Amino acid sequence: MRLSKFPLSTTKETPADAQVVSHQLMLRAGYIRQLGSGLYSWMPIGLRTLTRIAAIVREEMNRAGALEVLMPSVQPAELWQESGRWDKMGAEMLRFKDRHQNDFCYGPTHEEVICHHFRQDFRSYRQLPVNFYQVQTKFRDERRPRFGVMRSREFLMKDAYSFHMTADDLHREYLNMRDAYVRIFTRLGANFRPVKADSGNIGGALSEEFHILAGSGEDLLAVAEGGTYAANVEAAETLPSGKPRAAAGAAMTKVSTPGQKTCEQVSKFLEVSLSGKVKLLVVKGAEGGLIGIALRGDHQLNEIKAAKHPKIASPLTMAAPEDVLKVFGCEVGYLGPVACPIPVIADFAAAEVADFVCGANENDHHLSGVNWERDCAEPETADLRMIAEGDVSPDGIGTIKFYRGIEGGHIFQLGTKYTRAMGVTVLDADGQAVVPEMGCYGIGVTRLAAAVIEQSHDASGIIWPDAIAPFRVIICPIGSDKSPAVKDAADKLHDELAAAGIDVALDDRGNRPGSMFADAELIGIPHRIVIGDKSLATQQFEYKHRRAEKAEMIAATTAAVLER
């Protein structure tokens, strides 16, 4: 590719609204352009990388025996009503009506659709097992789209769905997919970790996430050093905490507004310490339901979601972001599964963190005079606590260390949750109708591009592994406008590399060396060849790997370049 015919749009300035380095570099290198909140276009240079990632994913899925399909992104509401998720999905699902007033959504995922197609065509155990996959656009109306394509609203996902006669066969395919994922993430050159994941409301099913380790990751991982245990903290085991502790909360007073019964009888307070740095004040209602939670400390949202505690009914769900206040590094406003109609707010009066007001709801069901040190010092009678750094691993092997990770993929044994809900059956060898077992396997294709950059960059820009670089080699001719020898050598090398199947870019834009090199480094091209009159005089090219400190001289032949 001659760059004179391949517009690049690079900038030196770091965009002010991009927080993480991958987002900054993808904008600066012209990989992506924003269209709206959580909406990004992939420009020619960026699409080359995205296409390569998708190709690796496809190759490994095909190798693992999965079959590619393509399903519509627009899905009829009826299927979601059948599975029961039309009401459960909430605001993350984008819904709309067509001209006939029929309800649709833009698919956030495709379990329902694939179940529908499966039941159209599959009747007999002889047709199973089968694993369908697609690489397709999803839309999720994320509460907080951020970090560019890392958490966007429209994104490209590889999603696969397998069907089986038995749970054992599902397990076999799950391991097959796990192996495929290990190959995919390895080929991407990523430092990754499969970790135990929360199986959410799907039941005791097996589930693992593939995380790219990076400081900017939104998830917290508990990994046993010297062992094999690894879990998303959301899914990590709780551990015995030792002796019961004293009751707390005595000094708080309840302020409630008459006529509002739901949250009136606030009775219990306890603290859950997550990773040793987060304090939660949990307010429980008289009927045992969880009413409110106030938080203090340096934490991430998934640490809060991870607040599994014997006294907390189930993983917490978050209140709306507008209910999350930030005062002195405190985020508050989380609501558990109770009959409380209004999201929780804890009200930290400025400079009064020692004696603050913790609300049960917006309308004055408050506890006043709450004091962290006094009231939230110790759990009441907690006999379990979340896993923490330095703990012995739950399996007894190794010591827990925390890492941050970016969820790049997620594999799941769904069991019969969807097939049962959607009335899917196949006949077994005895002619009996059986509800097939199902697995699902996702990879965030667009997110992976950003995740790899988070791990692989320096002050000058992106550093792509060869496998997903937009161009593998860039040729930078010096003074080719004045030297026909340089121009000829550059053209010849370009054409021969291209003929050899190498993705090569020739910077024939006539830029000065400094600006050529800066672009090549920002874009992250792994191999650079500089051709000038001086080196040609000794029949040499200058070669530099993107990671190398210094350039070196190599023979001025295509063969010598191909060796790199």
In this chain, which stretch among 41-49, 224-232, 290-298, 442-450 interacts with ligand ATP, using CB under 6 A?
A: 442-450
CB-CB contact of 470 with 523 (8 Å): yes
**Residue number with CB closer to Mg ion (124 or 317):** 317
Of 157, 263, 335, 453, which lies in the binding site for ligand ATP, with binding defined by CB under 6 A? 157
Residues 10-49: x where in contact with Mg ion by CB under 5 A, - otherwise, as a string: ----------------------------------------
Q: Closer CB to Mg ion, residue 63 or residue 144?
A: 144
Q: How far is the CB of 211 from ligand ATP (least distance, A)?
A: 9
Q: Distance between terminal CA atoms of the chain?
A: 19
- Provide the minimum distance between the beta carbon of 470 and ligand ATP in the complex, in angstroms, as a whole number: 20
- The distance of closest approach from Cβ of residue 493 to ligand ATP in the complex, given in angstroms and rounded to an integer, is 38
Residue of 129, 285, 405, 444 that binds ligand ATP (CB under 6 A): 444
Beta carbon of residue 455, minimum distance to ligand ATP (angstroms, whole number):
15
Question: What residues contact residue 51 under an 8 Å CB cut-off, 6+ apart?
Answer: none
Residue type, 382: A
Nearer to ligand ATP by Cβ, of 94 and 553: the residue is 94
Q: Which of 365, 447, 527, 528 binds ligand ATP (CB under 6 A)?
A: 447
Kindly list the distances between the CA atom of residue 50 and the CA atoms of 55, 301, 445, 470, in Å, as whole numbers in the listed order: 9, 29, 7, 9
Cα 444 to Cα 27, 102, 438, distances in angstroms: 19, 30, 20
Q: Which residues are within 8 A (CB) of 191 and not within 5 positions of it... i.e. 6 or more apart?
A: 212, 213, 455
**Separation CA 299–CA 291 (nearest Å):** 21
Comparison of 236 and 345: residue with beta carbon closer to ligand ATP: 236
Residue indicated by tokens 């063969």? 559
Cβ nearer to Mg ion, comparing 444 with 477: 444
Length of the chain: 564
Backbone angles phi, psi at 55, to 5 degrees: -65, -40
How far apart are CB 57 and ligand ATP at their closest, in Å? 11
Burial class (CB within 10 angstroms; exposed 0-12, middle 13-18, buried 19+) of 456: buried
48 binds, among Mg ion, ligand ATP, none (CB under 5 to 8 A by kind): none
52, 185, 294, 318, 350 from 355: Cα distances, Å: 56, 49, 13, 24, 10
Q: Choose from ligand ATP, Mg ion, none: what does 544 bind? Cβ within 5-8 Å by kind.
A: none
**Cβ of residue 134: shortest distance to ligand ATP, in angstroms?**
13
CA–CA distance, 294 with 235 (Å, rounded to integer):
22
Q: Going residue by residue from 383 to 422, which x/- string records binding to ligand ATP, judged by CB under 6 A?
A: ------------------------xxxx------------
The contact mask relative to ligand ATP for 113-152 (x = CB under 6 A, - = no) is ---------------------------x-x--------xx
Give me the least distance between CB of 366 and Mg ion, in Å please.
32
Kindly determine how many residues on this chain lie close enough to bind ligand ATP according to the rule CB under 6 A.
Answer: 14
Segments in 404-467 forming alpha helices (H): 417-421, 445-455
The alpha helices in 64-163, defined as continuous H runs, are 77-83, 85-88, 111-121
Tell me how far CA of residue 150 lies from CA of 212, 271, 295, 406, 461, in angstroms. Answer: 12, 33, 26, 9, 18
* Closer residue to Mg ion (CB): 57 or 531: 57
Q: Is residue 12 classed as helix, strand or coil in its secondary structure?
A: coil
195 versus 561: smaller Cβ distance to ligand ATP: 195
What x-and-dash track marks residues 501-530 binding Mg ion by CB under 5 A? Answer: ------------------------------
Q: Least distance to Mg ion from the beta carbon of 407, Å?
A: 5
Q: How far apart are CA 524 and CA 547, in angstroms?
A: 10
Peptide bond into 337 cis (omega under 30): no
Applying CB under 6 A, does 85 fall inside the site for ligand ATP? no
The residues that bridge with 413 in the sheet, in sequence order, are 439
Report the site for Mg ion in 357-416 (rule: CB under 5 A): 407, 410
Residues of this chain that bind Mg ion (CB under 5 A)? 407, 410
Residues of this chain that bind ligand ATP (CB under 6 A)? 140, 142, 151-152, 155, 157, 407-410, 442, 444, 446-447
